[in-house]
Structure 1
Amino acid sequence: METLKNLEIGKSAVISKVGGTGALRQHFLDMGMIPGVKVTMMKHAPMGDPLEIRVFNYELTLRKDEAAKIEIGYKEKLSDSNADFSDSTAEKETSTASNDLLTSHPGLGEDGKYHEKETETPLPDSTILTYALVGNQNCGKTTLFNQLTGSNQHVGNFPGVTIDRKDGVIIGHPKTLVTDLPGIYSMSPFTSEEIVSRNFVLKEKPKAILNILDASAIERSLYLTMQLLELDIPMVIALNMMDELTGNGGSININEMENLLGVPVVPISALKNEGVDELVQHAIHIAHFQEKPVPQDFCSKDEAGGAVHRAIHAVIHLIQDHAERAEIPIRFAASKIIEGDKIILNMLDLDFNEIEMLEHIVVQMEKESGLDRSAAIAKMRYSFINKICGKTVKKPHESKEHLRSEKIDKILTGKWTAIPAFILIMTTVFLLTFNVLGAFLQGLLENGIDFVTNLAA
C-alpha cells in the first residue's frame, strides 16, 4: 500500500488507513487525517523533509517518517481535488452564509438559543469570575489577552512545570481573572502544553471559557471547540481575524452559527480592537448567570454516525455515576474513553465488569461504523464541522498576501533555488555586517568612545 510520504507534489489522494500508536496517532486524527478524507501534497522542504499537505482547506506540515504512517488509496490531479470530506461522509449542505458580516445577532438576555439553560439565580456579585482563554496556536490569543487586560496582568509558571502562565484582570471589571492557556489543537494531550491546558480546564474549573477561533481556518479551529462544548462550561466564541476574512470576500452567518453551536459567537479583530467590548459583555453575562452550552447531538444521520451516537449514549448510561463522583463532564468523559483515553478511564475508576461492557460497546461501534474507535469519534466531529461550515461560511478567495507569499516561497524554498538563495542572503548579511554597515558603525562607536574618553580626561 502506498503512503502519503510518496505522494507527488500537486497530486491528491484519499486516506485509507492511519497508522502510528498512542498520542501520535490521536494527534493525526485530531488534525483531520481520517480515513476517507482527501489530502493534497503541496510542497516539500528544500532538503525533502518536512512535507506540506492540504487537508480541510488548511495546510499541515508533517515529517516524512510521520507521513509514512498514513496509507493512501488513489490519486488524481490537483484541479480535480476540490471535493472535500462532506462529499461522502457528511450531509451535503447548501451554504446560507450571509454576505453581511455585521448583521445583528442575539445580545445579552435575548431569545438566542444558547440562553435556554440560564440558571434561576446568578452568582453572587462578590464572586471572582475566572476565565480560561483557549484556542489554537497562532490564532491571536495573546493579542486578545493583551486587549482584554492591558497592563493588569502578571506572568508566572503553572504548578510543577516551566510553562509560562499569564493571568490578568479584564479592564474595567476588577472581579474577573483571565488565564491565557498555551495554544492547543485538541483536548487529547500530545505535548506538555496540551496537558497543561486540559488539566487547567478540568481541574481548576473556570467559571467560563473564552474560545478564540481563527476565522480564516474555521474547520481546524472548530475541532477544539466541539471538545470544549462537551465540558458543559459556560462559553463564548470569539471569531478572530474577521477583517481578513471579509476583506477577501468571505463571510460567516453569525446567527446561524450561534444556533448550531448553542453558545454566543462574537466576530472580532483582536489586532484592531474591534468587537472586543461586545465579547467582554457576553463573557461577563454568561459567567455571572452560568449560561451553559445548549446540548448538541454532533452525530450525523448516516450509518457510521448512528453507530457512534448509540455508543456514546450507551457509555453515558454506563459511567454516569462514576463521572459525577470524579467531577468530569459526562459527555466529555464518554467521548474520551471511547477514543481510548487512558487518563480519563483511570479517573473514572470503573470495575472489571463495567470495563468489559465498555469494550463490548466499542467493538460493536467499530463493527457498524467500519472505523476504529479513535477514527470514528474524529470523523463524527469533522462531519458536524462540515455541516456547520456548509450552512454558515462563505469561503474567501485567496488573498493577495498569500499569493505573493507563494511566489516568494517558490524561490526561497524551491528544490533547486533554496540553497543558492540561502547562501546569497547569508553572504549579503555577512558583508553588510563586517564591511559596509559594520565598518561604519564600528567607526562611529570608536569616535564616540574617544569623545567620552577625552571628556572624562
Structure 2
Amino acid sequence: MSVKIALAGNPNCGKTTLFNALTGSNQFVGNWPGVTVEKKEGKLKGHKDVVIMDLPGIYSLSPYTLEEVVARNYLIGERPDAIINIVDGTNIERNLYLSTQIMELGIPVIMAINMMDLLEKSGEKIDIAKLGKDLGCEVVEISALKGTGIKKAAEKAVALAQSKKSAEVVHSFDKKVEDAIDAVKVMLGSQVPEEQKRFFAIKLLERDDKIVEQLNTVPDVSNEIKALEDAFDDDTESIITNERYVYISSVVADSCKKNGAKKLTTSDKIDRIVTNRWLALPIFAVVMFIVYYVSVSTVGDWATTWANDGVFGDGWHLFGIKSLFIPSVPSIVEGALNAVGCADWLSGLILDGIVAGVGAVLGFVPQMLVLFIFLAFLESCGYMARVAFIMDRIFRKFGLSGKSFIPMLIGTGCGVPGVMASRTIENDRDRKMTIMTTTFIPCGAKLPIIALIAGALFNGAWWVAPSAYFVGIAAIICSGIILKKTKMFAGEPAPFVMELPAYHMPTVSNVLRSMWERAWSFIKKAGTIILLSTIILWFLMNFGWVDGSFGMLEAEQLNDSILAAIGNVIAPIFAPLGWGDWKMAVAAVSGLIAKENVVGTFGILFGFAEVAEDGSEFWGQLANSLPAVAAYSFLVFNLLCAPCFAAMGAIKREMNNIKWFFFAIGYQCLLAYVVGLCIYQVGTLITAGTFGIGTVVAFVLIIGFIYLLFRPYKESNTLNVNVKSIAKAK
C-alpha cells in the first residue's frame, strides 16, 4: 500500500527545491482535476511505494486564491498520510501561521526548518528541541538547496505516516474561544471525523464560505458566533487570527534567539541597488539585453550554426579532426532511403517535408537551451521576484499590478502556463487584461523566428533579439494604458503583496532541470504538432493542378501548388506590411498552429531546391525575398499576433466566455497588424523615400494611437469632480 506525503508551506520557502531533491527524475507533472493549476507528484528516491505531492505555495488554509483552494481541498479531501511542513527559518514567525492551521487537520506533521545556514549567518538561532516541544510536533533542520537534512526529514515523515501518529494541537486559544470551538464541535456530530472537528469548527467560526457550503446541513452556529463576538467586541475571524499570532509570538520568543544589533544582510545590500527607484529599470534592461544577446548573437548563435550546418546540414568533424567526420541527419536518412529503394514521393515527404521542416526548428534548440539556462538562473537566485516588484511600480501606472508580470514571466518559457498563471489574480478586469497581453512576451517558441530573422536578414545584428523582448514589454504597457481607459477595464488595480526571497546561488542540478523541462516541452511539440504540420504543408506544396490535371508537381512548378493557391488568396492582406509574397503569408499563418511552424515552413518552402554545400542557401533565399524593413515588420507581427492553438485554447478556458475569447484574439491580431504596417510604411519612407496611401494610413494610425495613449481617464475626471464637490460642501 502506497504512502502519500504532502509538502506544504509558504511561497518561496524552498518547497519545490525540496521536492526536486526528494524525487529526482521520478516526477509526474499535470493539472489538478478540473483546474489549470500545475500538479506535481513523484516517487521518493529509494521508496517505490512513497508518493510525494508538491502542493502550491500558500500563506493560509483560509483560501483566497485558486492555489490556496487547491491545497486545502487536497489536504481535507485526499488526506495524505503525513505532511512535511516547510518553514523558512529566516521568516519563522510569519510561516508558523500556516503551521498552526495544518496541525489542526489531524494529519501527522513533520516540520522542516529550511535556510538554517542563512539564519546562522545573521547571528540568529532556533532551539529546535524547544520549538518542537512547544508546537507538539517533531522539528528537523534542513537545507533544501544544499541537500542537507532532507533524507532525515523524509524518513521521519515516512515513519510517522506508517505510525499514523498525528501532531498534538498544543496551542491554546482564549477560554471563551475554546468554549465556542467545543460547542461547534458538538454541533458537527458525525458529519466530520473526530480528528478534523477542531479544524472545521474554527473555519465555521471564521465564517469560511467554502466550509459552510461543504457542511450545508450543520445546525445554525450564529448564536455561538454572536456570543463570542459580544464577549470580545469583535468579529470571530479577527479574534481567532489574533489568538494565533499571540500564541506564535510566545513560541518564537521561547525558542528563537534574535541578534540584537540588526545588520543589513547581503540580500538587503544588493536590493538597495537592484530595486532602487532610479537604477532598477536600467539594470533590468541591461540584464535582459545580455540574456538575449548571449542567447541569440554569441554563444547561442555559434551553437545553432553548428546544429544547422552540421547536424542538419553537411555533417561535421568531431573535435575538428578531419578523419572523424560525422554525417548529418539528412544525409543519413537519405542514405537509408536509397538503400531500401524508397519511392520518390515517400522519399520527398521524409526528406523535404519531415526532415527539412522539423530539422529547421530543432536546429534552434541550442539557442533555446542557452536562453532557458539564463532564465532558470535568474529565477532560482531570486532576481526575478525582484523584477515583479520593480514592474509593479510601472504596471500600476497603467492599471495593472505586479501580479500581472508573474504570468508574463512564466510566459517567457511557454504562453500556455503563462496564461494559466493569471488565475492567481483576484480582480476579474486585471485578470482578463493580463490574459490578453501575456503572450506579447516572446516565448521559447518565438525564439527561432527571432534568431532566423536576425541571422538571415540582419547578418546576426546584436540589437534584433533584445529589441524583440522590449517590443513585447512596450506592447503590454501601451495595451494596458489604452484598455484601462475603456469602460470594460476601468477600475483600480489589485493590490500586490509578494515576499522577496533571500538571494542565493542556485545549484547546477536545479538550473539544468528547469532548463531541460522547458526544452523538452519544446522538443515534444516539434515531434507532434510540428511534425504533423510539416507533413500537411509538404502535401499542399507538392500537389496541385497543371494543365487541368491534379497530381504531384515538379520542383519548378511550386507556384501551381495548392499551398500557392491558398497563399495567393491571403497574401494581399499582408502587402501593406511589406511581405505580400505568398510564401511569407503562408509561413505567418502556419504560426497560428505553433509558432515554431514559421521556421519549419521556411525550411520547406525556401529549402525546396537542393541545399548548397555550405548550407547557406536557405538563409540566402530568405534574405533575397524581402528587404530588412519588411523583415522586421514580419518579425514584430509574429511576435504580437494571436499565439499558437494551444495558447489560444488556454485563453478560451481562462476567459470562460466565447465573446471575450474572440475579443482577445481580435485585439492581438489587430495590434500586430497595425504595428507591422506602421513599421514598414514609416521605415520605407525613411530608408527609401517611398510615400503613398499606405504611408498616410500609417501616420493616421500613429496619431490615433498617441491619442488613445494620452487621453485622460474619464474615471479620474469623475473622481476629481466628486472631490471638489465634497470640498465645496464642507
Query: TM-score, normalised on structure 1?
Result: 0.62
Q: Is residue 224 of structure 2 the alignment partner of residue 361 of structure 1?
A: yes
Q: Does 1:308 align with 2:171?
A: no
CA distance in 2, matches of 1:147, 1:441: 29
Q: Secondary structure at the match of 1:213?
A: strand
1:401 corresponds to: 266
> Is the 2:128–2:140 Cα contact (8 Å) retained in structure 1?
yes
Alignment deviations for residues 71-94 of structure 1 (CA, whole Å, 9 cap, x no partner):
xxxxxxxxxxxxxxxxxxxxxxxx
Evaluate the alpha carbon distance shift between residue 440 and residue 231 of structure 1 in structure 2; reply closer, same or farther with a 3 A threshold.
closer
- Within 2, Cα distance between the matches of 1:431 and 1:388? 47
Is the Cα–Cα contact under 8 Å of residues 308 and 369 in structure 1 kept in the other structure? no
Q: Is the 8 A contact 1:202 1:328 kept in 2?
A: no
Which residue in the other structure is 2:202 paired with?
A: 335
| 2:249 aligned residue (386, 396, 409) | 386
Q: What's the CA shift string for 1:138-188, capped at 9, x where partnerless?
A: 100011001111111111111111111111111111110011011111111
- Contact kept in structure 1, 2:205 and 2:225, CA below 8 Å: yes
Find the partner of 2:63 among 159, 177, 189.
189
Contact 1:322–1:349, Cα closer than 8 Å, also in 2: no
CA distance 1:232–1:431, shift in 2 (3 Å): closer
Aligned to 2:53: 179
DSSP 3-state at the match of 2:202: helix
Matched, 1:150 2:9: no
The letter of the residue matching 1:169 is K
Say if 1:432 and 1:438, in contact at 8 Å, map to a contact too: no
Judging changes above 3 Å, is the alpha-carbon distance between structure 1 residues 251 and 433 closer, same or farther for their aligned structure 2 residues? closer
CA distance in structure 2 between the aligned counterparts of 1:439 and 1:285, rounded to whole angstroms: 52
CA distance in 2, matches of 1:199, 1:428: 40
For residues 172-321 of structure 1, what are the structure 2 equivalents within 5 Å?
172-299=46-173, 305-321=174-190
Task: Choose from 216, 224, 239 the match for 1:349.
Answer: 216
The alignment partner of 2:6 has SS state of: strand
| Structure having the higher Rg | 2
Cα deviation, 1:431-452, whole Å, max 9, x if unaligned, reads 9978xx9599989989997996
Task: Give the 3 Å change call, closer, same or farther, for CA 373–426 of structure 1 in structure 2.
Answer: same
Superposed CA deviations along residues 221-251 of structure 1, whole A, max 9, x for unmatched, are 1111111100000110111111111121111
For 1:206 and 1:427, locate their aligned partners in 2 and report how far apart those are by CA, in whole Å.
Answer: 46
Distance 1:140 1:149 in 2: 14
The one-letter code matched in structure 2 to 1:293 is A
Which structure ranks higher in relative contact order (CA pairs < 8 Å, sequence separation ≥ 6)? 1
Given that residues 6 and 83 in structure 2 are in contact (C-alpha distance below 8 angstroms), is that contact kept between their aligned partners in structure 1? yes
CA deviations over 1:357-407 (Å, ceiling 9, x no partner): x21111111122232111011111111110110100112544531331242
Q: Secondary structure at 1:139's aligned position in 2?
A: coil
Q: Partner residue of 2:237?
A: 374
In structure 2, C-alpha distance between the alignment counterparts of 1:235 and 1:431, rounded to whole Å:
45
| CA distance in 2 between partners of 1:153 and 1:428 (Å) | 32
Q: In the aligned structure 2, how far is the partner of 1:190 from the partner of 1:223?
A: 15
Contact 2:114 2:143 in 1 (8 A): yes
1:294-324 deviation line (CA, Å, top 9, x unaligned): 232431xxxxx33222211222222233323
Q: How far did residue 455 of structure 1 move?
A: 4.0
DSSP-derived class of the 2:39 partner: strand
- Name the counterpart of 2:14: 140
Per-residue deviation, 1:350: 3.3
CA distance in structure 2 between the partners assigned to 1:439 and 1:267 by the alignment: 43
Which residue matches 1:322?
A: 191
Q: Which moved more, 1:422-431 or 1:206-215?
A: 422-431
Identity of aligned residues (%): 35
* One-letter amino acid of the counterpart of residue 388, structure 1: V
Query: Partners of 1:149 and 1:191 in 2: how far apart?
Result: 27
Q: Check 1:186–1:432 CA distance in 2 against 1; reply closer, same or farther (3 A cut).
A: closer
CA offset digits 1:78-130 (Å, max 9, x no partner) = xxxxxxxxxxxxxxxxxxxxxxxxxxxxxxxxxxxxxxxxxxxxxxxxx2111
Q: Tell me how far apart the structure 2 counterparts of residues 427 and 245 of structure 1 sit (CA, whole Å).
A: 32
Report matched runs for 1:121-140 at 5 Å: 127-140=1-14
SS at match of 1:266: strand
Q: 1:426 to 1:234 in 2, by over 3 A?
A: closer
Output the CA distance in 2 between the equivalents of 1:173 and 1:428.
42
SS in 2 for 1:265: strand
Partner-residue secondary structure (3-state), 2:191: helix
- Structure holding more helix per residue: 2
Contact 1:136 / 1:184 at 8 angstroms: preserved in 2?
yes
User: How much has 1:345 moved relative to structure 2?
Assistant: 2.1
Task: From the superposition, tell whether residues 408 and 207 of structure 1 become closer, same or farther in structure 2 (CA, over 3 Å).
Answer: same
Secondary structure (helix, strand or coil) at the match of 1:196 reads helix
Q: Conserved in 2, the CA contact under 8 Å of 1:137 and 1:185? A: yes
Contact kept, 8 Å, 1:147 with 1:270, in 2: the verdict is yes
Give the partner amino acid of 2:116. M
Residues 270 and 445 (structure 1), Cα distance of their counterparts in 2 relative to 1, 3 Å cut? closer
1:307–1:183 Cα change, 3 Å: same
Larger strand percent = 1
Distance (whole Å) between structure 2 residues aligned to residue 285 and residue 440 of structure 1: 49
- Which aligned pairs between 1:83-162 and structure 2 lie closer than 5 A? 127-162=1-36
Matched residue count: 313
CA distance in 2, matches of 1:328, 1:342: 21
Q: Separation in 2 of the partners of 1:343 and 1:425?
A: 41
Q: Which runs of 5+ in 2 are unaligned?
A: 315-611, 617-730
Q: 1:237 to 1:423 in 2, by over 3 A?
A: closer
> 1:48-69 deviations in whole A, cap 9, x for unaligned?
xxxxxxxxxxxxxxxxxxxxxx
Where 1:323 maps in the other structure, the secondary structure is coil
Structure 2 counterpart SS, 1:138:
coil
Alpha-carbon distance in 1 for matches of 2:267, 2:125? 18
Does the 8 Å contact 1:142/1:180 carry over to 2?
yes
The Cα shift of 1:423 comes to 5.2
Structure 2: how far apart are the matches of 1:132 and 1:440?
41
Cα distance 1:163–1:328, how it changes in 2: closer, same or farther (>3 A)?
Answer: farther
Residues in 1 aligned to 2:117 and 2:107: alpha-carbon distance in whole angstroms? 29
Which position in structure 1 is the counterpart of 2:340?
none
Q: Distance in 1 between matches of 2:204 and 2:138?
A: 28
